[in-house]
A and B are shown apart, each in its own frame.
Chain A
Amino acid sequence: DQQVKQNSPSLSVQEGRISILNCDYTNSMFDYFLWYKKYPAEGPTFLISISSIKDKNEDGRFTVFLNKSAKHLSLHIVPSQPGDSAVYFCAASAVYGGSQGNLIFGKGTKLSVKP
Chain B
Amino acid sequence: NAGVTQTPKFQVLKTGQSMTLQCAQDMNHNSMYWYRQDPGMGLRLIYYSASEGTTDKGEVPNGYNVSRLNKREFSLRLESAAPSQTSVYFCASSVDRDNYGYTFGSGTRLTVV
Interface residues of A (CB under 8 A from B): 4, 6, 9, 32, 34, 36, 41-46, 49, 89, 91, 93, 99-100, 102-103, 105-108
Contact = CB atoms under 8 A, between A and B. Distances in A.
Interface in B96-110: 97-98, 100-107
Interface in B41-58: 41-45, 48, 58
A-B pairs, 8 with minimum CB distance: A43-B104, A105-B43, A107-B42, A105-B42, A46-B101, A100-B98, A44-B104, A43-B106
A46 B43 CA distance: 14
Contacts, number: 52
A37 B40 CA distance: 16
Given A43-B4, A103-B45, 14 more contacts: A32-B100, A34-B100, A41-B107, A43-B92, A45-B104, A46-B100, A49-B101, A89-B42, A89-B43, A102-B45, A102-B59, A105-B42, A106-B42, A107-B42
Given A43-B106, A44-B90, A105-B42, A99 B97 contact: yes
Interface residues of B, number: 22
